[in-house]
A and B are shown apart, each in its own frame.
Chain A
């Protein structure tokens, strides 16, 4: 391939970048709070709620994301007209599927963070006269967040790479354009370009989380 061809191919691949970034941002914004809510509900005093949340996490983590996307995109519209209307756009299906799936993983990450908070911390808060809400907000959550952060970094890097799955429901992204370029040019160089694009994206992400980790260190 000539240099101009490589440039043109890179440009073609970058057309998929918008999809990757949209997916990443929306899914992070939706699934982090949802995951946190699930963690809280999993500690709920009402047993059926705990069971429900645990069943949800069990199913979401125990089945392939691609099948979940298939189910939402091809399956749900057959259930009733509401789903048919709401899930018209493939992107909506992808955002929904990814958010629900990643929330389950984040819930477990937050749970791990909570487990790391020593019992003594709760007792200390009691001695200081803090109520339940104060204890959670000022003592437990900051410590939980710090422990959970490296795992959150890990999950978000995986998310960037997982966006390549959306082609199974006909959304075009970087890897798809790379495949199209490979079949057009007969050279596998477009894959190398895709490789670099994903790596660049994750480098930015890594820098951000490194900064955040430093910021939250105490």
Chain B
């Protein structure tokens, strides 16, 4: 009995595998059949330069129309700019701003959490329309993105435990100082003159700031350099026994990044933000999240 039952399963398995083999060959056929089509279109292009120029210009015009759906790419663990509430709804300052912009421009809004390490790939493969998530404007960004002007000021601050003996930036000498990898906080720390005198001569890098702050609590590091906006929110919202030093590492600004070449969408979004500021909507959002009307400045 057992053997019959087993052979039944295996025959079914064989049948399915034969099926999947068919599916596989069919898909390779159709992909190879589309290949000559694309190569012939290339020949046409090279045959007539005018034609190819016309094609290129029509291609360039394509992204000029605003997308139906505005897909905002974010690392949904960056409160208060963009994060998840208890029901996994994505909320935050940037989300409220973007929703208002979409309403104005008649686009459907979608927030898409992405792996922050893969943000350039997401943008370049058109899987997201922009990166809008407390993104610090850094040197060289103009070469890889179409950046908006700054909409918010931010500082890189030093967070220590309440009980720590660290009072100023100079006290960081011979201490273990941490930062989020690939962050502007890390960049600011590395540029600072104190960097060479911290323990080990290098920052301890973490995958995200929560891990760094957790290790600060445990005592595996002595100080964390990070965004003031996020640090203040984290300490207040979670009632942590931590404090922010008066000494700052750097002053910087948040901007919105669009795909290189897509100035059309960037300018439309920025224009909408300017209108929203004139209407007082921006101040309203600022008041709601920061209890201050002037945190967000559309320049």
Residues of A within 8 A of B234 (CB): 186
**How far is it, in angstroms, between the C-alpha of A74 and the C-alpha of B76 when the chains are bound?**
21
Chain B residues 1-59 with CB under 8 Å of chain A are 2-3, 6-7, 10-11, 13-14, 16-18, 20-21, 27, 30-31, 34-35, 38
Residues of B within 8 A of A177 (CB): 84, 88
Q: Is the CB of A187 within 8 A of B115?
A: no
Q: Is the CB of B83 within 8 A of A183?
A: yes
Q: Is the CB of B88 within 8 A of A37?
A: no
**How far is it, in angstroms, between the C-alpha of A181 and the C-alpha of B6 when the chains are bound?**
45
Chain B residues 76-119 with CB under 8 Å of chain A are 76-79, 83-88, 112-115, 117-118
Known: A33-B16, A36-B17, A170-B112. Is A179-B237 also a contact (CB below 8 A)? no
Q: Is the CB of A180 within 8 A of B240?
A: no
Picked from A74, A80, A145, A172, the residue with its CB within 8 Å of the CB of B38 is: A80
**How far is it, in angstroms, between the C-alpha of A180 and the C-alpha of B122 when the chains are bound?**
20
Residues of A within 8 A of B208 (CB): 179, 183
Known: A8-B86, A36-B13. Is A30-B77 also a contact (CB below 8 A)? no
Residues of A within 8 A of B113 (CB): 170, 172, 176, 180
Q: Is the CB of B30 within 8 A of A37?
A: no
Tally chain A residues at the interface, Cβ within 8 Å: 47
A136 to chain B, nearest CB (A): 9
Tally chain B residues at the interface, Cβ within 8 Å: 48
Q: Is the CB of A187 within 8 A of B238?
A: yes
Q: Is the CB of B10 within 8 A of A145?
A: yes
Q: Is the CB of B14 within 8 A of A33?
A: yes
Known: A177-B88, A184-B85. Is A33-B17 also a contact (CB below 8 A)? yes
Q: Is the CB of A12 within 8 A of B87?
A: yes
Is chain B's interface secondary structure helix, strand, loop, or mixed overall? Answer: helix
B21 to chain A, nearest CB (A): 6
Picked from B17, B77, B79, B209, the residue with its CB within 8 Å of the CB of A37 is: B17
B214 near A: Cβ within 8 Å? yes
Residues of B within 8 A of A180 (CB): 76-77, 83-84, 88, 113
B121 near A: Cβ within 8 Å? yes
Chain A residues 114-168 with CB under 8 Å of chain B are 137-138, 141-142, 145, 167-168
Nearest to B114 among chain A residues (CB) is: A170
Residues of A within 8 A of B84 (CB): 12, 177, 180-181, 184
Residues of A within 8 A of B121 (CB): 70, 74
Residues of B within 8 A of A176 (CB): 113
Residues of B within 8 A of A37 (CB): 17-18, 20-21
Picked from A30, A78, A82, the residue with its CB within 8 Å of the CB of B30 is: A82
Residues of A within 8 A of B3 (CB): 138, 142, 218
**How far is it, in angstroms, between the C-alpha of A177 and the C-alpha of B85 when the chains are bound?**
10
Binding site for A on B (CB under 8 A): 2-3, 6-7, 10-11, 13-14, 16-18, 20-21, 27, 30-31, 34-35, 38, 76-79, 83-88, 112-115, 117-118, 121-122, 125, 127, 208-210, 213-214, 234, 237-238, 240
Instruction: Offer 27 A-B interface pairs, CB within 8 angstroms, sorted by A.
Output: A12-B87, A29-B16, A30-B20, A33-B16, A33-B17, A37-B17, A37-B20, A74-B121, A141-B6, A141-B10, A145-B10, A167-B115, A168-B115, A168-B117, A168-B118, A177-B84, A177-B88, A181-B84, A182-B77, A182-B210, A183-B77, A183-B79, A185-B238, A186-B238, A215-B2, A216-B2, A218-B3
Binding site for B on A (CB under 8 A): 5, 8-9, 11-12, 15, 29-30, 32-34, 36-37, 70, 74, 77-78, 80-83, 86, 137-138, 141-142, 145, 167-170, 172, 176-177, 179-188, 215-216, 218
